[in-house]
């Protein structure tokens, strides 16, 4: 049984975290440097953005994880360390300075950055903050680290669950940041996961790479794929379960726990989109294949017109049909049913590709809620998928109109 627990990225045995303000960000009230540390070496896996423009930290981390092991994660906010002439050097220095404080090898450090692209990044404030960061490590530090990686996020995102493997209780937790420039094609934003389960690096990579296809790859806030998107997971094995080295019942159980955490984070990231007032969840059933369902769900969740309609609590279902039509899938539109649902109820708006009578007042009440489900039945097969997004508001333009200045 999977149970949610407190502790976030520090809930699993042997993990500590911290977060401090080192001076990258002008606002001294905002933390801008975070650290996660495993007291023992851990198996590690990661997925990275498919954007051809990649932040220097991703290049360095990919090199460090070639051996499938890591022991720490260092991340700064306020500057993405992307498109900088000395970006690789800065990322390597961050790793080396962190490793020195923790008495581990620089190659065992995952390094990440988030913030403005193309801005020079000085190592001085980071170098000055790392000693305090290391001293501040605690098993209760998940919230501090979660705060340190935020940019335009309005809330921290952290979760943990317990589950059983081979008769041993294991824990898996994580923190994430993500609010804008979110439209992944492999993973999304920055997500750091930790577990005390014993699992080989190869199976850990397989679990993560498989999971993101139905979790983080199904989130979109604004249609822009970030240069710094990365999801990493460390597994230190301290739970003492029989090590997972192949597929089987234990691997399936691990995948279920992982997906519980990632889907929770997906919903939090989508609901905290820049300027957002509503979490949108698009559920597609009846597709010819799962892949077809995914494309339809993502098409709807990415539709600017649909997102704007949801902001205005307007049951403009024609925009949903429009998005289905340009999804690229060979959908029989004469079979499509559409519903809108929220805690206030459900309204049936389209049957077999055509409108049906419904109360606009009742629909308005349903769509004024902060969590909206867009339910689509294609009635052509057994394929299903879910995607997450948010409404499109005036504030999104305000935030991104002066994000750099």
Is pLDDT at 182 greater than 50 in this prediction? Answer: no
Q: Are residues 197 and 69 in the same domain?
A: yes
**Which has more pLDDT, 187 or 57?**
57
Q: Of 207, 238, 271, which closes a domain?
A: 271
Q: Which of 162, 171, 188, 194 is catalytic?
A: 188
Q: Of 271, 287, 303, which closes a domain?
A: 271
Token representation of residue 173? 């937790």
Q: Of 241, 271, 301, which closes a domain?
A: 271
**Confidence tier at 180 by pLDDT (50, 70, 90):** low
Q: Are residues 69 and 211 in the same domain?
A: yes
Token representation of residue 374? 């867009």
Judged by DSSP in three states, 208 sits in helix
Is pLDDT at 7 greater than 80 in this prediction? Answer: yes
Burial class of residue 307 in the structure, from the number of CB atoms within 10 Å of its CB (0-12 exposed, 13-18 middle, 19+ buried)? buried
**Which has more pLDDT, 26 or 89?**
89
Query: What's the helix, strand, coil split of the chain in %, to 5?
Result: 35, 30, 35
For residue 217, count other CB atoms closer than 10 A to its CB. 20
CATH code at position 315: 3.10.20.340
Q: Which contiguous run of DSSP H or E holds residue 270?
A: helix 249-271
Q: Are residues 209 and 303 in the same domain?
A: no
Q: Are residues 289 and 192 in the same domain?
A: no
Q: How far is CA 106 from CA 136, 141, 145, 210, 351, in A?
A: 20, 22, 20, 28, 59
Is pLDDT at 222 greater than 70 in this prediction? Answer: no
Active site includes 188?
yes
CATH code at position 207: 3.60.70.12
Q: Are residues 342 and 252 in the same domain?
A: no
Token representation of residue 129? 């903050």
The residue-averaged pLDDT of 132-160 equals 95
**Confidence tier at 49 by pLDDT (50, 70, 90):** confident
Task: For 72, list phi and psi in degrees, rounded to 5.
Answer: -150, 155
- pTM here? 0.90
**What pLDDT, in 10s, does the model give residues 363-377?**
999 999 999 999 999
Is pLDDT at 185 greater than 70 in this prediction? Answer: no
**Confidence tier at 274 by pLDDT (50, 70, 90):** confident
Q: Are residues 265 and 287 in the same domain?
A: no
Task: For 353, list phi and psi in degrees, rounded to 5.
Answer: 75, 10
Average pLDDT score, the chain: 92
**Which has more pLDDT, 140 or 224?**
140
Residue 346 forms beta bridges with which residues?
341
Q: What confidence score (pLDDT) does residue 332 get?
A: 97
Q: Are residues 229 and 168 in the same domain?
A: yes
The residue-averaged pLDDT of 23-32 equals 92
Q: Are residues 259 and 283 in the same domain?
A: no
Is pLDDT at 187 greater than 50 in this prediction? Answer: no
Closest CA to 241 of 124, 352, 332, 163: 163
Q: Are residues 285 and 267 in the same domain?
A: no
**Confidence tier at 188 by pLDDT (50, 70, 90):** very low
Q: Are residues 191 and 304 in the same domain?
A: no
Is pLDDT at 149 greater than 80 in this prediction? Answer: yes
Is pLDDT at 308 greater than 90 in this prediction? Answer: yes
Judged by DSSP in three states, 125 sits in helix
> Pairing mode, if any, of strands 230-235 and 279-287?
unpaired
The residue-averaged pLDDT of 269-287 equals 90
Is residue 390 within 8 Å of 280, Cβ to Cβ?
Answer: yes
Is pLDDT at 232 greater than 50 in this prediction? Answer: yes
* Angle, vertex CA 54, rays to CA 187 and CA 106, nearest 5: 90
Domain that holds residue 225: 3-271
How much of the chain, in percent, has pLDDT values that exceed 70? 94
Q: Are residues 246 and 341 in the same domain?
A: no
How much of the chain, in percent, has pLDDT values that exceed 90? 80
Give alpha helix (H) positions in 277-337.
Answer: 290-302, 304-311, 317-325
Is residue 285 within 8 Å of 339, Cβ to Cβ?
Answer: no
The total number of structural domains that make up the chain: 2
Q: Are residues 161 and 253 in the same domain?
A: yes
Q: What confidence score (pLDDT) does residue 94 get?
A: 97
Residue 159 forms beta bridges with which residues?
174
């Amino acid at each position: 049984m999977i149970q949610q627990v407190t502790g976030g990225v520090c809930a699993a045995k042997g993990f500590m975290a911290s977060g401090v303000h080192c001076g990258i960000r002008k606002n001294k009230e905002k933390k801008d440097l975070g650290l996660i540390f495993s007291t023992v070496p851990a198996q590690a896996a990661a997925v990275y953005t498919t954007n051809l423009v990649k932040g220097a930290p991703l290049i360095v981390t990919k090199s460090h994880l070639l051996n499938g092991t890591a022991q720490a994660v260092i991340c700064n906010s306020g500057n993405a360390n992307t498109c900088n002439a000395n970006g690789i050097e800065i990322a390597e220095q961050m790793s080396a300075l962190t490793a020195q404080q923790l008495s581990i090898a620089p190659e065992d450090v995952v390094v990440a950055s988030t913030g403005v692209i193309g801005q020079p990044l000085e190592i001085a404030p980071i170098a000055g903050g790392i000693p305090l960061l290391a001293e501040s490590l605690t098993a209760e530090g998940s919230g501090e680290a979660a705060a340190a990686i935020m940019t335009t996020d309005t809330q921290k995102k952290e979760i943990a669950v317990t589950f059983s493997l081979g008769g041993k209780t294991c824990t898996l937790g994580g923190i994430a940041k993500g609010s804008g420039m979110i439209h992944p094609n492999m993973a999304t934003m920055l997500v750091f996961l930790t577990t005390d389960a014993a699992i080989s690096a190869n199976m850990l990579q397989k679990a993560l790479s498989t999971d993101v296809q139905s979790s983080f790859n199904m989130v979109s806030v604004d249609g822009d794929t970030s240069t710094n998107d990365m999801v990493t997971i460390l597994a230190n094995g301290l739970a003492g379960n029989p090590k997972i080295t192949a597929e089987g019942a234990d691997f399936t159980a691990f995948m279920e726990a992982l997906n519980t955490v990632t889907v929770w984070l997906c919903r939090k990231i989508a609901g905290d989109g820049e300027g957002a007032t509503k979490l949108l969840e698009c559920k597609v059933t009846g597709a010819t294949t799962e892949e077809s369902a995914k494309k339809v769900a993502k098409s709807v969740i990415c539709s600017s017109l649909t997102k704007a309609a949801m902001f205005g609590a307007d049951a403009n279902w024609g925009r949903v049909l429009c998005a289905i039509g340009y999804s690229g899938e060979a959908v029989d539109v004469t079979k499509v049913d559409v519903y809108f649902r929220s805690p206030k109820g459900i309204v049936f708006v389209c049957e077999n590709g055509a409108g049906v009578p419904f109360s606009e007042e009742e629909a308005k009440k349903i769509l004024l809620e902060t969590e909206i489900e867009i339910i689509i039945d294609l009635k052509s097969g057994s394929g299903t998928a879910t995607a997450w997004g948010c409404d499109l508001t005036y504030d999104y333009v305000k935030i991104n109109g002066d994000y750099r200045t």
